[in-house]
Structure 1
Amino acid sequence: MLDLGASPPCESFLAESELDRPEPTYPLHLRLCGSCHLAQIPPLIDPATTFSEYAYFSSFSSSWLAHAETFVDQAVDRLGLDGGSFVVEVASNDGYLLRNVVERGLRCLGIEPSVNVGKAAREAGVPTLTAFLDSGTGAAVRDEHGPADLVVANNVYAHVPDIRGFTAGLRALVADDGWVSVEVQHLLSLIESTQYDTIYHEHFQYYTVATAQRALATAGLTVVDVERLPTHGGSIRLWARPEAAAGPPSERVHAVLTAEKAAGLHEMSGYTDFAARVAEVRTDLLDFLIQARRRGERVAGYGAPGKGNTLLNHCGIRPDLLPYTVDRNPYKQGRYTPGTRIPIFAPDRLAHDRPDYVLVLPWNLRAELTEQLAYVAEWGGRLVFPIPRLEVAP
């Protein structure tokens, strides 16, 4: 469906001492199953290699913190959770979501494979188990803590190569009358808005509601409701229950399935022109950067997200076209982007250098970052968003 060449793991940021060492790259090819239509990339990288030490901390995004707090408020009301309830979050990162559950006096547990971010969660007062989820982990947690009334799996369902084993783990965790909430980027949004930079080696699958239904059903979980969300450029929040407690799916499930079918995503036809549109994004961005350089205008980057590294590597953008980027995460500051070796500084570098343009790599946070970067206009600088199409903000 799409060939992005070869790319290093998107979160393997380099220390200065590593710049003279070889750097492994892996094919990045998006493929579509002709039988079930699940979009996926080959599982070439062991998740233990990626997630044991992880560079992404959820709490550095204020909009994501607000999203998590709103979700907890709504889930408590929707499900009638109280002091006797038990909430488990899988891939709980630094406790960004469960801290809201702790504040409400609900019993909870995070399951997080990354040692460094799990440590940060515990330091923030969120009980956290360092482990990958599979059926054995799910059963062990259930035996020790009891069944969960709510299992949350935000932006993790695409990150596991053994989707059947992971789904069995979700079923092992949840009570027979409980709920599972899964947030994942929606393939419909990815295709419609050419969001190809979210294709990277951490993401093994790319879901429609139809393919998510099939995957969850392998462990006896039934999708009963779905919400379309603006996060990550367009996501879906799937509400699933054990089959015996599920009941019929909501009208919202039927509506999204209808939209997917109308876009051709339940057959092969909806994917045929995607690669050509990706090529246009690449051409437009490179043309902008080359022309800016010829005019003597300076461009700096904002953010060093994993998706940005897919974009930079696919486009072949290196320090001659983008001398540096900045990021709020101290873990990334002083390091270099994988593959393209672009240095990463603290955000105050922008105000010091006053570049003509700031290329916003986490374009999905446009509203948040437009506000944060409003000061760029003080010296006549302009923000540039590369996706869904190149846009130089006024």
Structure 2
Amino acid sequence: MTRCRLCGSTALASVVDLGATPPCESFLAADELDRAEPAYPLHLRVCTDCWLAQIPPLITPEETFTQYAYFSSYSTSWVEHARTFVADAVQRLGLGPDSFVVEVASNDGYLLKHLVDREIRCLGIEPSVNVGAAARDAGVPTLTEFLAPATGAAVRAEHGPADLVVANNVYAHIPDVVGFTRGLRALVADDGWVSIEVQHLLTLMEENQYDTIYHEHFQYYTVASAIRALASGGLALVDVELLPTHGGSIRLWARPAEVAADPAPAVADVLAREKAAGLQELSGYAEFSARVAKVRRDLLRFLIEAADRGETVVGYGAPGKGNTLLNHCGIRPDLLPYTVDRNPYKHGRFTPGARIPILPPERIGVDKPDYVLVLPWNLRAELVEQLSFIHAWGGRLVFPIPELSIVEVKP
């Protein structure tokens, strides 16, 4: 990487180098285990001019998202998060039967189905063929496309401008930040709203959430860098919310620059927090790599010592972040014989790189392992409750992030 993808600067500084790994969602079928896997560098850098953190665009969105293994509806807490957002947005923006809402990267309709239930006209734009088909089967109108300015203009011409454009957990997934943002502007009405949720670089750094660095995530935002990214497409930030989702996210409320009011006080508050954390100077990034290395050492030490004691450890979940962790730590089936996942699409497949089998969740109750390593640590509250049944045989949960912790669950 030689230039920042947002401002074009060549002033890029290393934050952490995680080596080379396969794309995190490239799960393997059994008949693919003897084939070579491509691996790409996973090196996070930050632009010291606009402070956008980013990795090189070594894979294209088309390679990752044309067929996709992640279905949002399998997370109970995420579906509830979407339901609450829809209820709040309807009230905040006065949405009703005459309104039109577009969600970009709408996945399997997990969010828009709440608008369908309210009889509010909506459309999903979802590039993954298989996931979009699931949304349509659920009654959610869905267009199979990647968002670009031309896509936004075509949707606007056919359906009219959108009163609200939602882009949850996609703003990090596109290498062409400027083009995507212009696509959002093409979709939204001249007096409309754009709501974007994206992981907050501040909490990623503070909570050592390095496993959320993977090839699908091309950039990592602060509010300061998001303001500049939005401006590149003619949008202005008017409000921000701090969310607990994905370990710590920001919800950005933006409007076309021509109608945007002065930013709410929350924007200045978060900007001040980011500045105090040193995220607009290189010193704020200096210790991150050392803290990442400690996570690796602590987790490997735990797994090796458990194996030496004859204790069993299995995984729970097969999220993208889990594959960054497994590959960076060098964990293989001798230390983690399998992981389980609620998504049937992943059953019988193997994690990329580490080649760990993915089984149905019921396997945990059959094998009764001593420990369950939770890979989607961002769902901690949900999974502590979901996995409380392991108390029956004295099983315990292990969370690797932000630091290794072993939890005794209650029935």
Which range, TM-score by smaller chain?
Answer: over 0.9
Deviations 1:85-113 (A, max 9, x none): 00000000000000001100100000000
1:344 is aligned, of 327, 333, 358, to 358
1:28 is the counterpart of 2:42: yes
Structure 2 residue identity aligned to 1:242: P
Q: Tell me how far apart the structure 1 counterparts of residues 67 and 56 of structure 2 sit (CA, whole Å).
A: 22
Counterpart in 1 of 2:241?
227
Shift of 1:349: 0.3
Counterpart in 2 of 1:368?
382
Pairing 1:304-315 to 2, within 5 Å after superposition: 304-315=318-329
C-alpha RMSD of matched pairs (Å): 0.4
Q: Tell me how far apart the structure 2 counterparts of residues 387 and 22 of structure 1 sit (CA, whole Å).
A: 30
1:257 is the counterpart of 2:271: yes
1:167 is the counterpart of 2:181: yes
Counterpart in 1 of 2:55?
41
Number of aligned pairs? Answer: 394
Shift of 1:220: 1.2
Shift of 1:245: 1.1
Question: What TM-score does the superposition give when structure 1 sets the normalisation length?
Answer: 1.00
Shift of 1:34: 1.7
Structure 2 residue identity aligned to 1:334: G
1:54 is aligned, of 68, 84, 97, to 68
Q: Tell me how far apart the structure 1 counterparts of residues 261 and 50 of structure 2 sit (CA, whole Å).
A: 24
Moved over 4 A (4+): none
Shift of 1:341: 0.3
Shift of 1:187: 0.2
Deviations 1:60-98 (A, max 9, x none): 000000000000000000000010000000000000000
Pairing 1:1-394 to 2, within 5 Å after superposition: 1-394=15-408
Shift of 1:5: 0.3
Structure 1 residue identity aligned to 2:330: G
Counterpart in 1 of 2:3?
none
Structure 2 residue identity aligned to 1:277: R
Structure 1 residue identity aligned to 2:164: L
Q: Tell me how far apart the structure 2 counterparts of residues 393 and 213 of structure 1 sit (CA, whole Å).
A: 39
Counterpart in 1 of 2:7?
none
Q: Tell me how far apart the structure 2 counterparts of residues 197 and 110 of structure 1 sit (CA, whole Å).
A: 28
Deviations 1:103-125 (A, max 9, x none): 00100000000000000000000
Shift of 1:226: 0.3
Deviations 1:110-164 (A, max 9, x none): 0000000000000000000000001000000000000000000000000000010
Kindly, what percent of the aligned residue pairs are identical? 74
Structure 2 residue identity aligned to 1:208: T
Structure 1 residue identity aligned to 2:326: L
Unaligned runs of 5+ in 2: 1-14
